[in-house]
Structure 1
Amino acid sequence: MTASVKAIANLALSRRSFSAAILAVLAMPQHVRAQQPEPRITALDWAWAETLLALGTRPSAIAEAELYRERVVTPELPRDVIDLGLRSWPNMELLKSLRPDLILSQAGYGVQATSLEAVAPTLALPLFTPERRPLQLAEAGLDAIAARIQREQKALQYKTEFEQKLSEVRASLRSYDGRPLLIAKFADERIFDIYGPGSLFDDVLGRLGLENAWTKSGNHWGFSTSGLDAVARNPEARLVIIEPGPPEKLFDSALWRAIPSVKANRVVTIPPTWVFGALPSALRFASILGRALQPS
């Protein structure tokens, strides 16, 4: 077990005894419990927001709610969830006014946990670290959140379903030709973010038995930013583009058509999938990719 996973597993109860409060509610008779308001949980990071939703718990507020709906997509975010502004710097006055019972954040990103603790008990969980194992940390994060809100059984159920669905996707890919994949997203008209070791998508490819054509370690989040020449230098790869796809001007250009994977019609485009997500994003990516790689 890695140091980060151990740290998550051994998280202490907060000074405001959030878990004790949840246990007290669960101990109430059902008719009394039904009258109790749900804990107000704020998620400043989309990975932990989608994890909370996967556990069947609705966040009262998250950062950049509308962009979540565009880029993360599923699990679906209820329309009445309050938007707290930027993930990197949320509206702290609004956050304080909501009086949350718990704040979920990503360790090492955005507002420091020490500042958030002054507002409410905070669970700051690591996901992208020097260990470069985001899928493992995503599962550890699911367990940590579930333990904090007393949803351990739901977490176990979700992990079982996750493994089953990954196995189904892997089985569906038995007819795939085995060609390495280049997973890319346009950063601008001619620049790609390409996902390699240390990215969530690289971990998913490994679980599906697929080869990643991009072996460079890249940055802290596991991607490298490169031009079209990087794609051209991988002539045997199948290019997987996360929407939005290439701008129309580039798509119609001789430069684009000269790329080997484009010339050979080895390009697939998949719907938006959150590249910095947790288990739900990993599952969405696996499911969409599995369908995209089926023979036409």
Structure 2
Amino acid sequence: MTVSVKRSSNQALSRRSFSAAILALVTIPKYAFADATKPRIAVLDWAWAETLLALGSRPYAIAEAELYRERVVTPEMPSDVIDLGLRSWPNMELLKSLQPDLILTQAGYGVQAASLEPIAPTLALPLFTAERRPLQLAEAGLDAIAAQLQREQQALQYKALFEQTLSEIRTSLHSYDGSPLLIVKFADERILDIYGPGSLFHDVLGKLGLENAWTETGNQWGFSTSGLDTIARNPEARLVIIEPGPPEKLVGSDLWRAIPSVKANRVVTIPPTWVFGALPSAMRFATILGKALQPA
């Protein structure tokens, strides 16, 4: 059975009530796993894979396991997890042969839940939607997964850790100069993705009391693809570059050195952080960013 979450556009929900609304719609019964301590959970989406790990459980199989280790990084993926192939189109024969107890996937991405249901009960949870509330949906997803696995206490503990961590980071940034941030990731030498409203990073900035210099809504995932001129049009912003950074050829050019943020030395580079993640990716981004913005 697939989880479906709908609400009218004019109904305002608080974060707590929004999570409760999603949980109320989760009608899949708690599973009677063959081994209650080690259910075979196949995960086709990295956001829910990291969420599962945050709950102290672990995937039996995951799509693109090695790339997860490079791009998501933490929580660490066990070395013996089975690789299911592409996230957008996993090896369905392998998935079927594993006889999973549960399949976790992201609603609206990759294989439709209707194609997964004949293999195993499927929990398809929304994350990046037209409502543009990924951080809120990430928390709701944590609660929904915890409810299915009877790990509600672990979910409460993780949410408390998340809030405490972000509160401490926010306190540590009291001496920050207040410059708005332009968060970018380079696609090539001249093209970059810029993260605005609707992105996970934008939601984290709000929790930290930081201003996002980019106010355009962009695509479903909250980012816009643009050229270098966009950076130049935001002269007061501090540029936050998610690795890998700009090519050496660009960094050594007059064009790069002429960008106001670069000229004023308002540029920080941070390690890879999964831009389409859930609460663990949000906490990783907040932690890395908090350290990067500390005075030298």
TM-score w.r.t. length of structure 1:
0.92
Partner in structure 1 of residue 157 of structure 2: 157
> Residues 1-296 of structure 1: matches in 2 within 5 Å?
1=13, 5=19, 8-14=22-28, 17=29, 19-21=30-32, 38-296=38-296
The code of the aligned residue for 1:181 comes to L
Structure 1 residues 266 and 144, CA gap change in structure 2 (3 angstroms):
same
Offset of residue 190 of structure 1? 1.1
Offset of residue 20 of structure 1? 4.3
Distance 1:139 1:106 in 2: 14
Question: Does the 8 Å CA contact 2:185/2:192 hold for their aligned counterparts?
Answer: yes
Query: For 1:21, what is the secondary structure of its paired residue?
Result: coil
Distance 1:84 1:186 in 2: 28
Query: For 2:174, what is the secondary structure of its paired residue?
Result: coil
Distance 1:184 1:178 in 2: 18
Structure 1 residues 94 and 136, CA gap change in structure 2 (3 angstroms):
same
Structure 1 residues 151 and 278, CA gap change in structure 2 (3 angstroms):
same
Question: Does the 8 Å CA contact 1:64/1:87 hold for their aligned counterparts?
Answer: yes
Query: For 2:68, what is the secondary structure of its paired residue?
Result: helix
Distance 1:138 1:284 in 2: 14
Partner in structure 2 of residue 29 of structure 1: none
Distance 2:119 2:275 in 1: 29
Question: Does the 8 Å CA contact 1:8/1:125 hold for their aligned counterparts?
Answer: no
The code of the aligned residue for 1:11 comes to L
Distance 2:186 2:207 in 1: 25
Distance 2:180 2:31 in 1: 49
Partner in structure 2 of residue 30 of structure 1: none
Question: What whole-Å deviation, never above 9, does each CA across 1:174-195 have from its counterpart, x for those lacking one?
Answer: 0000000000001112111000
Structure 1 residues 87 and 278, CA gap change in structure 2 (3 angstroms):
same
Question: Does the 8 Å CA contact 2:138/2:279 hold for their aligned counterparts?
Answer: yes
Distance 2:93 2:258 in 1: 52
Distance 1:89 1:107 in 2: 14
Distance 2:262 2:26 in 1: 52
Cα RMSD between the aligned structures?
1.5
Question: What whole-Å deviation, never above 9, does each CA across 1:260-281 have from its counterpart, x for those lacking one?
Answer: 1011110000000000000000
Query: For 1:114, what is the secondary structure of its paired residue?
Result: helix
Distance 2:239 2:31 in 1: 50
Offset of residue 120 of structure 1? 0.5
Distance 1:273 1:205 in 2: 14
- Between the two proteins, the alignment pairs up a number of residues equal to 282
Identity %: 79
Distance 2:223 2:56 in 1: 31
Query: For 1:213, what is the secondary structure of its paired residue?
Result: coil
Give unpaired runs (5+ residues) of structure 2: 1-12
Question: Does the 8 Å CA contact 2:26/2:144 hold for their aligned counterparts?
Answer: no
Distance 2:99 2:76 in 1: 24
Distance 2:214 2:264 in 1: 19
Question: What whole-Å deviation, never above 9, does each CA across 1:151-174 have from its counterpart, x for those lacking one?
Answer: 000000000010000000000000
The code of the aligned residue for 2:140 comes to A
Structure 1 residues 153 and 4, CA gap change in structure 2 (3 angstroms):
closer
Distance 2:203 2:128 in 1: 12
Give unpaired runs (5+ residues) of structure 1: 26-32
TM-score w.r.t. length of structure 2:
0.92
Distance 1:43 1:242 in 2: 26
